[in-house]
Structure 1
């Protein structure tokens, strides 16, 4: 009996261990570019049962998820989601930023060491080398002895490259213009796989740019958005009014040819098409190890920037985005198997409503005078210290000081920083200012300055930070459209939904930082967290 008892105990332990180490066949990370949380509620009556509603009702829905840093830009958001940390650690401090060592503006994924795959231009000279830490995809590769595949897909290059990190098998993004194809970088290999070249020649892209964009439902049913013809929306070149229908076949020649796909819902459709081709072409989810697929839907961002939060175009785009989620889920169920994959969905940032529209409603809003501010700052330092050259660059709401000039004038950077902090806050539509030295020596545990601190990278960031008033955009958006980048809730509040294998059914209204996604998925997979991780596991999400 004793032997039988110990044998049963041993078998139970082995079964328990096997259960603990069981993993999904595929992890799918979906990022919907520029998706505000409230779109899930606002457009809910227009959604079907098999898209957003399905993953919310059958999965775990975090209703109060936020970005916990400034700036809320695309590259920064994608990096933070998949690394579990903020720019202070992962090093992606913007889409573009001023490099104080190279003395020029740089783009987050540019890398001239590599060549383009699938195109003759430099559009594929990219890599993730500026990302200083690992992603979930990297850690999964390490945990599986470099087995399993990880692939990133998006319209935007940065949105394809950064999520899957340094060990990815591939990242693919869409090249518009005269090309109309998905391309890649020699960072990932010597040539595009045959399934990619076959996809690029299947004629879908050409068929999509020859379709008129009209509303899916009768436009009179779009009661969640303002009147179609209004002064707050941008237009395609060649259009007289920003109204439906948008004659894409006629407009494409004056709007970048195939690039016009980026700014209409069919850009998201071609993304799903390509993701499905990747799943089949790479046999994702078919082996004993776990594969990883990142999909970023970028067209929502292009539409949002042009037309704004309250437009018929954005409503139609999210109605159609719901169809893409439903289509992808159905495909995953068939190709990988129900309950054999884990999926999460979030956004890389949200977005502000158009200030001119808010002003009409008597809500405080404004446009920041970028040129006037640059002149103001240079005048300040010239009057106080005798040289405009002390200001090397002003960008991304940061001021970079000229360190060489500081030495020439025998000035302390701390003195100049604090002078600017005290003075520039008086400029119109600036709400707060803070110096790099303060961020290095003071801990902010709440409020906007805590968000600046998590976005501040000592090696890469500027010397003085300034925060605009709420609902204030750059003057570049003064006439139409909208943007993002701040730490206010309209830019930070995004969806966060987990679904599938290993995920509980439920919801929570507790605050969660975006950095919680990576450690939560890592915990589900029972792998080491990304090596810069500062997020915490959301225990209630996991079975």
Structure 2
């Protein structure tokens, strides 16, 4: 270890000891923050958090000394990045927020992308008109149909500053909301923001940090295996010439750079630089800093949730969060932290199978939309094609062609539903009408039915004509018929390993405890609102304020 990290750790320890000495005086008191810090760790499942908790030594160890809900839930069925991030600071499920998936289909809006007609809309995209290209699209928060906590804080006090920094654009937009002072996300060229707002990026990021990041990204990556991860370093062959489980050297400009510790480290650097530039927490108002770290998600996708890669990532994440907290300490402002994840994730199918997980398999190519359409075409040869639209390799939402004659739509819908229901990898199929008629979910979130989970994801204006849910441990990626990605593992299902995420609240002097009952990520925003004295009618949240201050 170099001398610089040793000095940083020493400073962090001294700061922790200082605040720790004050803890008994404040143990039973609510925090009085000037800064709210929301942290999302992309794909940090409760399973991974629990597995690596004994190894955390820095930021995650400190946070785990707070109020910990190890069985938090992203309660909806479509456990993807955009819906998951949308729940955290809105307090609403996708059914209300409208963020039903990373992408959804607008059957009446075909556009041209790379010479191909498409009906798909990205979750933070304002598309051009029908017939346009993606060049006419812009990123926007307007797809989010509800306010975020930051939006509400600004409505109460316009002097409030809101900064959102993330590894992914959709994460930054969902956390930042409609009126953020800075919404910043990673690209291979550097951190950027909305078109026309580049001047809002601090020079320390736009110039120095982005240059350093491009240099890191362009150079080969030679990962080092921490000693604590040695027992997890075991090669697992997925196919001839493709293996995971051991750290491998990456060439420069590799997309897999996103799955190295550098991704989160630069995101933390950007968050601290932005917090300093905007003087967060140092004014009369209460400010908000949202940070989403994407490295764990990319690690999980490329290499699975076990193995040397995830172990290395978790220890590096711990150090990055330690630097974030130490940097916030140096600002000398009282702050409160809420940490969670946008979704969980499953390990690679082959490793799950080797470790005794029953019924794990890769998705059957017959579930591809092109195959479904081909099978349906024989029964409806005279109708416009394609009959159904689903532009991913597989997605939960299935849409009928907008040009189908009204008197034939019911027959096409029923035939499509029956085709999915007969498939051995499908757990449930719900029609739009069934979901509209269903009661909103209630009761313990871990006991919800599949209908409840689908209802939490369903928005009548955006969701498909059918919602199709796969059986547990059916992985979407790494099949010969899906060459568009080199991911080995997936998430997005309605099952516990994708829904369960940790939820943690922490502040200096917190009287920490662990509450093992199941709660939801939509409980975070009302909890933070209560801590900062922000009055929001309960009906505007799907969640509730959790008891995080012990009497």
Displacement of 1:305: 0.4
Q: Cα distance 1:139–1:472, how it changes in 2: closer, same or farther (>3 A)?
A: same
Question: Is residue 62–residue 495 contact of structure 1 (8 Å, CA) maintained in 2?
Answer: yes
Displacement of 1:143: 1.2
Displacement of 1:190: 5.0
Displacement of 1:208: 6.5
Deviates more, 1:417-426 or 1:22-31: 417-426
- Following the alignment from structure 2 to structure 1, what is the Cα–Cα distance between the partners of residues 138 and 297? 23
Please name the residue that 1:46 is paired with: 55
- Following the alignment from structure 2 to structure 1, what is the Cα–Cα distance between the partners of residues 93 and 240? 33
Q: Cα distance 1:209–1:327, how it changes in 2: closer, same or farther (>3 A)?
A: farther
Q: Cα distance 1:138–1:412, how it changes in 2: closer, same or farther (>3 A)?
A: same
1:186-241 superposed Cα distances (whole Å, 9 cap, x missing partner): 3656553333324336635425754743335237x533x351x2214999xxxx86
1:487-520 superposed Cα distances (whole Å, 9 cap, x missing partner): 1011011110000169542110111011111111
Please name the residue that 2:25 is paired with: none
Please name the residue that 2:143 is paired with: 130
Displacement of 1:89: 0.9
Q: Cα distance 1:208–1:343, how it changes in 2: closer, same or farther (>3 A)?
A: same
1:320-349 superposed Cα distances (whole Å, 9 cap, x missing partner): 101111111111112134xx1010110110
Question: Is residue 84–residue 517 contact of structure 1 (8 Å, CA) maintained in 2?
Answer: yes
- Following the alignment from structure 2 to structure 1, what is the Cα–Cα distance between the partners of residues 502 and 200? 36
Q: Does 1:289 align with 2:270?
A: no
Question: Is residue 234–residue 307 contact of structure 1 (8 Å, CA) maintained in 2?
Answer: no
Among 537, 541, 545, the alignment partner of 1:533 is: 541
- Following the alignment from structure 2 to structure 1, what is the Cα–Cα distance between the partners of residues 508 and 197? 29
Q: Cα distance 1:336–1:370, how it changes in 2: closer, same or farther (>3 A)?
A: farther
SS in 2 for 1:168: coil
1:407-434 superposed Cα distances (whole Å, 9 cap, x missing partner): 2xx2353x54344334421113111111
- Following the alignment from structure 2 to structure 1, what is the Cα–Cα distance between the partners of residues 210 and 72? 40
SS in 2 for 1:497: strand
Q: Does 1:158 align with 2:170?
A: yes
- Following the alignment from structure 2 to structure 1, what is the Cα–Cα distance between the partners of residues 136 and 175? 19
- Following the alignment from structure 2 to structure 1, what is the Cα–Cα distance between the partners of residues 240 and 259? 11
Q: Cα distance 1:416–1:463, how it changes in 2: closer, same or farther (>3 A)?
A: same
Q: Does 1:346 align with 2:352?
A: no
- Following the alignment from structure 2 to structure 1, what is the Cα–Cα distance between the partners of residues 85 and 196? 19
Question: Is residue 222–residue 315 contact of structure 1 (8 Å, CA) maintained in 2?
Answer: no
- Following the alignment from structure 1 to structure 2, what is the Cα–Cα distance between the partners of residues 524 and 399? 41
Q: Cα distance 1:373–1:183, how it changes in 2: closer, same or farther (>3 A)?
A: closer
Deviates more, 1:305-314 or 1:181-190: 181-190
Among 166, 185, 193, the alignment partner of 1:184 is: 193
SS in 2 for 1:336: coil
SS in 2 for 1:329: helix
State TM-score, norm by structure 2: 0.82
Q: CA RMSD in A?
A: 3.0
Among 469, 474, 490, the alignment partner of 1:467 is: 469
Among 264, 269, 284, the alignment partner of 1:268 is: 264
Among 170, 175, 180, the alignment partner of 2:187 is: 175
Q: Cα distance 1:192–1:159, how it changes in 2: closer, same or farther (>3 A)?
A: same
Among 349, 354, 369, the alignment partner of 1:355 is: 349
Please name the residue that 2:313 is paired with: 317
Question: Is residue 100–residue 460 contact of structure 1 (8 Å, CA) maintained in 2?
Answer: no
Among 242, 246, 249, the alignment partner of 1:247 is: 249
Number of aligned pairs? 494
Deviates more, 1:277-286 or 1:316-325: 277-286
Q: Cα distance 1:201–1:89, how it changes in 2: closer, same or farther (>3 A)?
A: closer
Among 208, 228, 236, the alignment partner of 1:230 is: 236
Q: Does 1:35 align with 2:44?
A: yes
1:237-274 superposed Cα distances (whole Å, 9 cap, x missing partner): xxx865755434xx014x2xxx5532211111111111
- Following the alignment from structure 2 to structure 1, what is the Cα–Cα distance between the partners of residues 178 and 201? 18
Please name the residue that 1:149 is paired with: 161
Q: Does 1:374 align with 2:374?
A: no
Deviates more, 1:522-531 or 1:282-291: 522-531
Q: Cα distance 1:241–1:411, how it changes in 2: closer, same or farther (>3 A)?
A: closer
Displacement of 1:308: 0.5
- Following the alignment from structure 1 to structure 2, what is the Cα–Cα distance between the partners of residues 67 and 61? 16
- Following the alignment from structure 1 to structure 2, what is the Cα–Cα distance between the partners of residues 490 and 22? 33
**Structure 2: segments with no counterpart, 5+ residues:** 1-28, 111-118, 129-133, 442-447, 481-485
SS in 2 for 1:269: helix
- Following the alignment from structure 2 to structure 1, what is the Cα–Cα distance between the partners of residues 212 and 136? 22
Q: Does 1:405 align with 2:407?
A: no
Q: Does 1:497 align with 2:504?
A: yes
* 1:65-80 superposed matches below 5 A: 65-80=72-87
Displacement of 1:53: 1.8
Q: Cα distance 1:211–1:461, how it changes in 2: closer, same or farther (>3 A)?
A: same
State TM-score, norm by structure 1: 0.83
- Following the alignment from structure 1 to structure 2, what is the Cα–Cα distance between the partners of residues 30 and 317? 17
Question: Is residue 72–residue 486 contact of structure 1 (8 Å, CA) maintained in 2?
Answer: yes
